[in-house]
Structure formats: structure tokens, C-alpha cells
Chain A
Amino acid sequence: MKKKILIIEDEETLKFLLSREFKGEGFDIEEAINGEEGLKKAKESKPDLILLDLLLPGIDGFEVLSRLKKDSNLESTPVIIISNFSQEEEIKRGLKLGAIDYLVKANLTLSDIVERVKKTLG
């Protein structure tokens, strides 16, 4: 069974490149360009893992994360934050809300991210 990843990211280029990389590594990909769409797709497609950007149009990533964690069907789905914010406050807030990892996009390669995801999925 292919593992399914939901990418919630509003920057088209980043989403495209991530998506491409993960597909190449044998994952199924769902994409969302904002928080509302992300929540909807999370409910519909039941991904194995969610990659979540923080700065999104409409409801932001923190809000998406806390709504995911309140949904009994989704609370156990691992969420990895991918953001270019990197202040301690933001990292702590993300982890406190239940993200299992916080990755700073600019400091990681696509293969680094794939590796983290694979590690998380075991």
C-alpha cells in the first residue's frame, strides 16, 4: 500500500517541488493551497501524514493544526510543520499544539524532508 501524504502549502513552486519529490519516492500525494482546503482534504482522504505550512491565506497553520487535533478521526495523524519561520516561540507553539516535528524549509533539502517523513512513518 502506498502511503498518502497531504501537503498544505500555499507557495505553488514549493508545493510542486515537494509533491514531485514525494511522488518520485513512491508516495501518493494530496495537495491543498490553504487551510480550509487542507482541513477538507484531510477529512476526505485520510492521509498517513500531513505536511503543514504555517503562513497560509485564511486560517493559518497553527489554527489548522489545532482543528486537526480536535478532530477524533484525525488527531492521531502525524503532522510535520514545514515553515520558514524559525523563532523559538513559533517552534514551541507548533510542537505544543501537537506537531511531531518542525522543519525549516530553507535549511533542508527535499531529500532531507523525504527522509524525515519516512522515519516518522516507520
Chain B
Amino acid sequence: MIIEKEKEKILAIINNLADGLMVFDEKGKLSLINPVAQKIFGIEREILGKSIVEFSSSSTLKNLFYLLGKEIKEVFRKELRIKKNLILEITSILILEKGEKIGNLVIIHDITRERMMERMKVEFISISAHQFRTPLSMIKWSLETLSEEKLGELTEEQRKIIKKAQDSNERMLTLVNNFLDVIGIEDGKYVYKPTFSRIEKITQSVIENYQEEIRKKQIKFEFQISNKKLPKIKVDSKKISLAIKNLLDNAIKYTLPGGRITIVLKSIEKEIEFSIEDTGIGIPKNQQENIFKKFFRGSNAVKVETTGNGLNLFVVKSIIEAHNGKIWFQSKEGEGSTFYFNLPLK
């Protein structure tokens, strides 16, 4: 009696689960299916007792059969697209009794809505990027055409005004690009197919873009590679390039004219370590724990450079961590900062 009651209770729970559930016996025959699973696949209870091999002839179940196989594999959260507007996440677990397989439990979770939301988000980012950038590129190219005096000579005053407008426009563009990076990071799909790359080359090409600023600020700049040859490393080179760019950008921004910046690359055991040392304004001790937070800016940084957006280091940290690397720093207010990151070789 009690056993019967317990059984009913368990069945009631299974039948009322929000996820679909199927149980197969040790021979691969379906021994239990709950209403959600029936609804998802559009099938009747008559399916009970059928073997998974017979699923291959059903239009809705055949994909499940291809995923799990004849022997019913263990799978963890595999995505299965049944049709355009039905995407499932399948988990299959072996049911063991005293170490012996007595069947499989298959959990079916409908993720159609999540996938649709993601799609909408990607489209939204894409369209906003475009909407923001198009007027900004018009301004950029118009000012460029004017400033190069292709439409006539400029007076000193006109030149100054155009230069100011160009600087503001560039700032706006950087902001838009940074925002897109941040949204991309939060979307979780941030590191795309990494390829074997030479980090010294990536670093060098970032540095090249800053030669002019380094020269203007009369910064003593040094780039050292401590090993003769660094091993190639599997990274998303565009993202790593962005991380290095942000670090160098900060170092230059917060180092006073005549200061010093040193970048060092070295390979230590199974990782590559990057460091960038500056003689800049440093980070006040009581603010150091916030430095990687989104939109955070040091109180002294705000005074030196009023226009930063507080996203640079957040982006860097996200990129490095997405590569399974670590980032850290040492800093003393008024003396300078050194930022380090490492990337595992495998």
C-alpha cells in the first residue's frame, strides 16, 4: 500500500515536470515518457515499449535517435534542432544499479525561446552598431576631407576647430566600439575560433599604431622579448590585440610626458606572460579592488583624462579570462603601474 502510494507520488512528480523525460530500459526500449516529452515530439503514449531503433522512422524522433544512437550514449546538454521553431537541449544519463546499466534517463529541455532571444540580441547589436557608426563615419570622412584642405585652404582657426571635432568624433567612435565589445562579452560568445598565432607579432602591430603618440609625449618606450623564440599560442588574435591595445592605451594616457613604458613578453613553463610597466599616475590603494569593474575609473585618472569610459580594463579582463588566462597588477599611486597577464600554451 505504502509502496503503491510512493509510486503514485513519484509518477505525479514526473508527469508534472516542466522538462520532458524519457526512460529507456537496458534493451533500449522506452519504458516511461511524461506528457511534456509527448507534447514536444507530438507523439502518443502508444510509443511506450518501442525500441529507440524504431525512432528512426519518425520524423520528430529520428534526430533524437541519431543523437543518442542505438546503444543510447550519455550526453550532456547537447543541442538538438527538431524544426525551425523547436530547439531542444538533451541530456542522457545512464541509470546504474550496483554498477550495472539498467537503463537511460533522457531529459529534454526546450530552449527555443532562449535561442530566439539570443538571435534577437545579436541582430540588435548588429543594427545598433550600424546605426551609430554610419553618421559617425560620415562626420569622420567629411572632417578628413576638410582637414586635408582638399576643398580649399583653411585658416589656422578653422583647422583648430576641425581638429577638435575630429577628436570628439573619434572619442564617440571608441565609445561605440567599446560598448559593442561589452555587449559581445555579455553575450558569452566572445572568443571565436582561436588560431595559432605569434603574440610578439600581435604586440608589435599594436605598438606600431601608437608610435606617433609615444613620440608626441616623449615617452621612453621599450619592448622586450625575453626568450629567443616564443612558442606559438592558440588565441583569437583580434581579441588579444584589443586587450594589448587597451593596456597600452591606458599606459600612454596615464603616463606624463617624458615618462617610461616597458612591455615584456616571456615564456614561462606552459604559459606566456605579458607585462606592461608604466611610470604613470598609478592607482590609489583604496580603489585597486574596483579597477576591473565595468565603468569604474580611478579618482586620479578622472583628473588626468576626463573622457575615458571605464571600459578598457573590463574588456581586457574578459578577453584574458575567456582564453583561460589570468590578469593582475601592481601599482603605487604617483609612481606607476604594471599590468600582467598570462595565457596558457594549451
Contact = CB atoms under 8 A, between A and B. Distances in A.
Query: Which of B126, B130, B136 is the most central at the interface, judged by chain A CB atoms within 10 Å of its CB?
Result: B130
A81 to B, nearest CB: 13
A107 B125 contact: no
Interface in B101-145: 122, 125-126, 129-130, 133-134, 136-138, 140-142, 144-145
B192 A105 contact: no
B162 interface: no
Contacts of A83: 130
A106 B144 CA distance: 12
Interface of B: 122, 125-126, 129-130, 133-134, 136-138, 140-142, 144-145, 150, 173, 176-177, 180, 184, 192
Contact of B137 (A24, A89, A90, A106): A106
DSSP majority for the A interface?
A: helix
Interface of A: 11, 13-14, 17-18, 20-21, 24, 55, 83-90, 104-107, 109-111
Query: Which of B126, B133, B141, B192 is the most central at the interface, judged by chain A CB atoms within 10 Å of its CB?
Result: B141
Contacts of A90: 126
A14 B135 CA distance: 9
Given A17-B145, A21-B150, 12 more contacts: A11-B138, A13-B138, A14-B138, A14-B141, A20-B145, A20-B150, A21-B141, A85-B129, A86-B180, A106-B133, A106-B176, A109-B141
A24 B180 CA distance: 34
B130 A21 contact: no
B173 A106 contact: yes
A13 B143 CA distance: 12
Query: Which of A14, A55, A84, A90 is the most central at the interface, judged by chain B CB atoms within 10 Å of its CB?
Result: A84
Nearest to B130: A84
A104 B142 contact: no
B134 A84 contact: yes
**9 nearest A-B pairs in the assembled complex, by CB-CB distance:** A106-B133, A84-B133, A106-B137, A105-B137, A17-B141, A84-B130, A13-B138, A88-B192, A106-B136
A87 B122 contact: yes
A85 B130 CA distance: 5
A28 B142 CA distance: 21
B240 to A, nearest CB: 15
Contacts of B144: 109-111
Contacts of B137: 14, 84, 105-106
Query: Which of A85, A89, A104, A107 is the most central at the interface, judged by chain B CB atoms within 10 Å of its CB?
Result: A107
A41 B125 CA distance: 33
Nearest to A11: B134
A14 B144 CA distance: 12
